[in-house]
Amino acid sequence: MGELMSKFMTLEDHFARLHPVRPEHDAARLLWQDRLAPELTTMEEERKAVIKRATMHTVATAAFIVALVFAAIIAFGFEAIFPFGIFAGIVGIFIACAAVWMPVFSMKSQTKQLVVGAACEPFGFTYSTLHQDLSGVSSLRSLGSWVNANKSAVFSKGNEPPTPAFERLKTVGLMPSYDSRKFEDLIEGVRADAAFTMVECKLTEQQGSGKNRRTVTKFQGLLLNIEYPERFLGRTLLARDGWWSWGRKNGMQQVQLVSKELEDAFTVYSTDQVEARTLLTPDRMERLIALERHFKGSKLRGVFEEGHLTIALEADNQFEAGSIFKPLIDPARYVETLTEIGLICDLIDGFLTRDWYKDKI
């Protein structure tokens, strides 16, 4: 129903859904009209062609391998082929078709870079998907050449953190154990005279052994680091319940918040009780809750220390800019990203200024 309504909405209808209205939205609207929409229109024809080519190749390959499997069944009997021969056929289809779908995924990455990057621009922020460039891969041979040229990236257990948030949260015990890490969707900028970075992070760990060995996702969500103009006097940790062994072991004391509702929602430990209560006022805590609510996140936690506020929020993939299997020229993709960026601005404004917009929550 929502997609059907979006199809008949005008650009003004889409922008009317943005709340609150921000000064940056006028520039964002012009950017869509003058640059983003024309570029997406050009890419739309290419998108259709790339998906059609990949689909036709997959169908043809699948038909050929299925025919081979049936021929083998006729020649050697069903019992001789099942189940390993059928499984081998499925794997063969996957391997033979993997490379031809690379241009589709490459275009998805390019679309995300274009849409999210454009949404960041009116705010003065920059964006990078942090994805590997797969634009030259379209066959098994080119895929092999790409893997050979990018061995370190392909076989690495994780790229370097593009933000100090990861190490800062890890140091104070607010990140879980892991053996592989991945970062994508980096947003950087300055807001209220404070530099910030935000990135998506995924941590995985191999657990079990033998047949029970499996990959478990230990963390997936957003990491946000805001550099304060002044240093904090103490160290303050806040979180939903369940992250307090580190604080207790390091001589920190629990902070009693002024709001009973917020105290039930968060647990706070600090080395400076007065500073913690000054920082975590009800209106500022509401900024955190609004961020968590919009991203459908959970287990929000963070640390105020030295000159930074660093936050982790567990959530599904964000900043996806829509599906590559749907038309690219959809303002809803762009407007949703503007909304998400606006929430980041709200949080920074709420902690660093007293001049944030009204009626956010």
Q: What is the pLDDT of residues 164-193, one digit of tens each?
A: 999 999 998 888 889 999 999 999 999 988
pLDDT in tens, 104-153: 888 888 899 999 999 999 999 999 999 877 676 666 676 667 567 666 65
Q: In whole angstroms, give the CA distance from residue 98 to residue 85.
A: 20
| Higher-scoring residue by pLDDT: 155, 293 | 293
What's the pLDDT tens digit per position in 242-270? 555 555 557 788 888 877 777 777 888 89
Q: What pTM, to 2 d.p., does this model score?
A: 0.82
Mean residue pLDDT of the chain comes to: 83
Q: Which residues of 131-161 are buried (b: 16+ CB within 10 A; e: fewer)?
A: eeebeebbeeeebeebeeeeeeeeeeeeeeb
Residues 241, 175, 284: CA angle, nearest 5 degrees: 55
pLDDT at 241 over 90: no
Q: What H or E segment, with its residue span, contains residue 64?
A: helix 37-76
pLDDT tens across 269-328, in order?
899 988 988 888 888 888 788 878 877 777 888 999 998 999 998 888 777 777 888 898
Residue 253: predicted pLDDT: 87
How many angstroms from the chain centroid is the CA of residue 97?
27
